[in-house]
Amino acid sequence: MVQLDEKIYFYLLIIIPVILVLFLLGLVWKKRTQKKFANTELLKRLTPNRSYNKGALKLIVFILALALLILGLVNPKIGTKLETIKREGVDIVFAVDVSKSMLAEDIAPNRLEKAKRLVSEIINQLASDRIGIIAYAGQAYPQLPITTDYGAAKMFLQSMNTDMLTSQGTAIDQAIELASTYYDDAEQTNRVLFIISDGEDHSEGSTLDAVENAVDEGITIYTIGVGKPKGVPIPIKRNGILESLKKNNQGETVITKLNEAVLIDIANEGNGQYIDGSNTDTAVEFIKDELLKMDKKEFEAKQFAEYKNQFQWFIGAALLLLFLDIFILDRKTSWLKKLNLFNEKRHE
């Protein structure tokens, strides 16, 4: 298990392309200036011992050293001791709507990105709870099983998009049924399901039946609405550029709107509450308070308890490269000249 202490230092890597650009610009300027003084053949005769490849070699060594220094500042750590620890928490499953209607931009930047941000912020407020993630559209898909690895949860969350499921539609009933299989602890007193959606449901007839079955299994269902009740079209984009608006089989522009009534009914039947997701901070604070009220179940989890610093290896390698860089001169090395590694012609 690798842990990165100071990820902010990764931003320093932007220095590397800047150095490369400055080097190339300097190279162009130098060649233009030299041409004003003499042609290439004459310059080679005037400076027979100058290597035209050592400059690039010195740059490569310097950039490698710089990259290693930055990695040293990030301070990678390797887990060395795996321990079983006791934790108390609630089992939480997030069912995120990834149907095409979630591309609507009535809430910035669009409904799906808003939903992902909401889930991410909720995860930030958790301490010892176990979480799972489901993606659903015309069918439900298990994205992440119940886990305490919040980092992995956020990674899977960010990868979710409206193209991940080929079956379009909004089958909330299937999401609820799949969520019911996530809770693997029969003694867990609090099982919570959050459905994050715009409320469009193409399985209304069976959704409340699925909710009833989930409640019988001890699952509390909360719904979070993303979008606006006023209808808006669904943009179809490629590389961030609007190509068209989604149309139905009759060629008419599809208008999608937040259906709060469906989400409120699901929450009421599921012994939970409907939450307006338009204000992230307010929604997250409300959910945090709701989870704090719930009884916690003790469970065991394995995690790395000890980490060893690895920065010294990167710093050491960087210093070694910088030391070697001192001895790489622009003139040809006599024994390398004999080997002619760079295919440099000798001029008598």
Hey, which residues does 244 pair with through a beta bridge? 236
Q: What is the pLDDT of residues 127-154, one digit of tens each?
A: 888 899 999 998 999 999 998 889 889 9
Determine the pLDDT at residue 348.
44
Determine the pLDDT at residue 335.
46
Query: Beta-carbon neighbour count of residue 38 at 10 Å?
Result: 12
Determine the pLDDT at residue 55.
74
Q: Are residues 97 and 138 in contact, defined by beta-carbon separation less than 8 angstroms?
A: no
- Tracing tokens 């690798």 back to the chain, one arrives at 2
Length of the chain, in residues: 348
% pLDDT > 70, the chain = 81
Determine the pLDDT at residue 197.
96
pTM of the model: 0.65
For the cut 80, the answer to whether the pLDDT of residue 178 exceeds it is: yes
Name which of 130, 54, 109, 76 is nearest 330 in CA terms.
54
Q: Are residues 151 and 112 in contact, defined by beta-carbon separation less than 8 angstroms?
A: no
Determine the pLDDT at residue 127.
81
Q: Which residue has the higher pLDDT, 122 or 250?
A: 122
Determine the pLDDT at residue 223.
97
Q: What is the pLDDT of residues 262-300, one digit of tens each?
A: 999 999 999 999 999 999 999 999 999 999 888 776 666
Q: Which residue has the higher pLDDT, 331 or 57?
A: 57
What span, in angstroms and rounded, lies between the C-alpha atoms of 89 and 127?
Answer: 8
Contacts of residue 309, defined as CB under 8 A and 6 or more positions apart, other chains included, come to 75, 77
For the cut 50, the answer to whether the pLDDT of residue 347 exceeds it is: no
How far from 204 is each of 153, 219, 230, CA to CA, in Å? 29, 19, 21
Determine the pLDDT at residue 277.
95
What span, in angstroms and rounded, lies between the C-alpha atoms of 169 and 174?
Answer: 11
The mean pLDDT value of the chain amounts to 84
CA torsion, ordered 44, 47, 51, 54, to nearest 10 deg: -120
Determine the pLDDT at residue 332.
58
Determine the pLDDT at residue 78.
79
What span, in angstroms and rounded, lies between the C-alpha atoms of 75 and 52?
Answer: 37
What span, in angstroms and rounded, lies between the C-alpha atoms of 197 and 195?
Answer: 6
Domains along the sequence of the chain with CATH: 2-75+310-339 (no CATH), 83-300 (3.40.50.410)
Longest dimension (CA), the chain: 94
Q: What b-and-e string marks burial along 224-235, b requiring 16 or more CB atoms within 10 Å of the CB?
A: bbbbbeeebbbe
DSSP H helical segments within the chain, as ranges? 15-37, 40-46, 54-74, 111-124, 150-158, 172-180, 204-216, 260-269, 280-293, 311-326, 334-339
What span, in angstroms and rounded, lies between the C-alpha atoms of 94 and 156?
Answer: 12
Q: Which residue has the higher pLDDT, 290 or 78?
A: 290
